[in-house]
Amino acid sequence: MDFTLTRLANYPGVKGPLLFVILDGVGLYRGHADGFSGNAVDLAQPPHLYHLLKTEHIATKLKAHGTAVGMPSDADQGNSEVGHNAIGAGRVFSQGAALVDKAIETGRLFQGAVWNELVAHARAKKTPLHFIGLISDGNVHSNTRHLFALLNACDKAGIEEVFVHGLLDGRDVPPLSALRYFGDVEDYLWSVRVQGLRDGKIRRYYFASGGGRMITTMDRYEADWRIVERGYNAHALGQGPLFSDALTAIRLLREQTQVDDQYLPPFVIEDPAHPGQPIAPIRDGHGVVFFNFRGDRAMEISRAFVEKDFKGFVRQRWPQVFYAGMMEYDGDTHMPPKYLVEPPAIENTISEYLAHNGITQFACSETQKFGHVTYFWNGNNSAKFDEKTETWQEVPSDKIAFDKAPAMKAHEIAAATIAALKSGTYKFLRINFANGDMVGHTGSLPAAIEAVKTVDVCLGELIAAIDALGGTLVVTADHGNCEQMYAVDKKTGTPVPAAGGGFEPLTSHTLNPVPFVIHGPDTARYALNPAVKEPGLGNIAATLLNLLGYAKPADYLDSLIVL
């Protein structure tokens, strides 16, 4: 592969450093100041961001959801994974949900070697098949329609025992919606059991364990291995409070804890035939499928089941299982080794081009988003392209609820980036402020407002630093979130009232566009590219290359600017 970049004939590139800032989860709700009462961005009135949007010559909106980032339809919200993939790759690839949909629709998933190994193993050994994953249709990490397809295939294949270890969402879907999603799965499991009785077949299809996603199983970037340990102990060891069924567990735990679904503690389902015993701990010889398609929160639990020299926590027992992921979650470490659906092959990212052309790079974020400016940015690969020219700096995230400390590590990220700028070492720098997304997911409007204010203070510091160096700043976001903290009635466009007063919180990502601004000494010579009719995140990489004085590769989407 030839990674040679062609120099622009009419522009040598920005003179100072080029700083690319991703305001994670900061979208624009019908414009950035329309008075919507749940708009944390508008309510924060961030002076630096709003000044850039109002005064800069290049200031526009980008599509950051749906087909613009490889999702199946424009009804699908964007997310940090696909957003950073699109930005870093300069192109749009069919992403997790779309790939799995297609693999199921065509039957390719069930014709694959791994699925047939799982089925053959379960039938020959008369052992259970376990499914672990997020029970919702949020379409960010998983979709229940995929689980239903897998369960149906198990039934048709004659697998006698199937157990679901379900994780509550409340983040990509309404915060108190788990009873609906778990109820749908419970109804399906019940129908399989009943039909089995009618046909004289053994069918033990049950929920086996569960818990809220932010407390159980779905940690990422090694931020808090205790989350994975809780889930592992519930799924594999059957450790946790026992309940007769998943719906009872959810109801009682909500009453006891008074928290949203995503924060419910882990639970275990009791075996109706053996009171006081868990129904289905994962044991030696069993088959296990983690059916989430998104990689970041699937990596650690996969490692806990797969790795012989695992060091994340002390495993009380390590069952030897046939483990498969819905997808390969890390193309660099090949985790997990077995998976059901091939991931998109994302090559030739902007960082790979820059590395091969000797352009020094700096990437920084806190733990919660560090993998997004490295792993996802690099096309789902966790290694640097050039150790000599690339520097990655991770700021450890707090291990407390994000609405309790909405500043998160924004100030530390800004300080590290300013130091990197002043060092004179780096030509291209990329950073991510996680606040708008992570705090937005908590559903707390006051905390989200504080998060936006904090990030804007840091943005002001970065503007001052880049101006002092004669550099150029590019600001955008990977998807919306904190600009719409209330659920909105689709017909009226007004906030949905909550049962106890106020408005129903919206903890998920949104379908709103995101800002895109260029600030620097050369901006007067740039113009928005009229050929780009629907600008999206995939157009950013070519734009950054233009700013560095290079033409885009032939297969990249067009630049947002003309020079």
Q: Which residues are catalytic?
A: 80
Supply the DSSP string of 323-354, one letter for each residue. Answer: EEEEE-SBTTTTBSS-EEEPPP---S-HHHHH
Give which of 351, 359, 323 is closest to 339, Cα–Cα.
323
- CB-neighbour burial class of residue 124 (10 A; exposed 0-12, middle 13-18, buried 19+): exposed
CA distance 179 to 167: 12
CA distance 486 to 67: 24
Strands 58-62 and 514-519: antiparallel
Q: In sequence order, what are the residues at sequence separation of 6 or more whose Cβ sits closer than 8 angstroms to the Cβ of residue 539?
A: 62, 90, 532, 557, 558, 559, 560
Q: Which element (helix H / strand E) includes 197? A: helix 178-199
- Asked if residue 86 lies in contact with residue 349, where contact means CB atoms within 8 angstroms, the answer is no
Q: How far apart are the first and last CA of the chain?
A: 28
Give which of 15, 5, 3 is closest to 547, Cα–Cα.
15
Q: Which element (helix H / strand E) includes 461? A: helix 445-468
Residue 461: CB atoms within 10 A of its CB come to 17
- What token pair was written down for 435? 């606040």
- What token pair was written down for 444? 């707390």
Q: In sequence order, what are the residues at sequence separation of 6 or more whose Cβ sits closer than 8 angstroms to the Cβ of residue 467?
A: none
